Amino acid sequence: MKLFLAEDDAVLADALLTRLGQLGFAVSHCDDGLAAQQLLLAEHFDAVILDIGLPGQDGLKVLRNVRVHQPALPILLLTALDSMEDRVAGLDAGADDYLVKPFEFPELEARIRALLRRHRATDPQRDELQREELHFGPLRLDRSAQRAWAGTQALDLSARELELLFILMRQAEKVLSKEQISTALSGEGEEIGSNAVEVYVHRLRKKLDGSGAGIRAVRGLGYLLTLASDG
């Protein structure tokens, strides 16, 4: 099982790497938020241990951005913040579990095992999110073939528009911020800014017109893919 550890406390990170290695896990480690996000988007891991207080980019921001691409990835947050508001913020950002420092290793190990068990148990229900072919209402997208349809009608989409539709379909009926979409669209050595996101959304919205599905702008929050009957 491959674990990913994002922790900037060198002493704690070394202790966790040693302990988790003894338990048979293959663990990759990073001490910077931006680097952690890049690795999580580029590689496959079975579970993630993510510290909130990372340099470069805080853990909550990493969590929100990674969730766009990997909604089923088990993620455990580590933090020194233990108020109810902090725990709620972490869980609302997409964490599966939340552990406050300092903690005992046996508790962390038990929580990781529980996360992995729940993930395996729910895999059949989440299989649709892991597939290259997605369905939402009248829309069908085959990422491997780089094609999309509305009913039986093929959609004429550019590569960027197809990727944007894929991102929105994976999180259909959920609001995605411009920043989340920008991160998901940006490739290695390339940054897609918020203005460009607006352009791609506008183009894709026009091409979905009359399809039975559309992109709704939620003021101050972002965009969501929804069925036309939802208004």
pLDDT digits (tens, 9 = 90+) for 123-172: 544 444 445 688 999 999 998 788 999 998 999 999 899 999 999 998 88
Please tell me the pTM assigned to this model.
0.59
Q: Which residues of 76-89 are buried (b: 16+ CB within 10 A; e: fewer)?
A: bbbbeeeeeebbeb
pLDDT tens track for 78-88: 988 878 888 88
Choices 3.40.50.620, 3.40.50.2300, 3.40.30.10, 3.40.50.410: CATH for 2-128: 3.40.50.2300
CATH of span 133-230: 1.10.10.10
Cα torsion 167, 34, 44, 63 to 10°: value is -60
Phi (first) and psi of residue 77, to 5 degrees: -90, 135
Identify residue 146 by its one-letter amino acid code. Q
Domain locations in the chain?
2-128, 133-230
Kindly report, residue by residue over 54-76, the tens digit of the pLDDT: 999 999 999 999 998 888 899 99
Distance separating alpha carbons of residues 43 and 201, to the nearest angstrom: 27
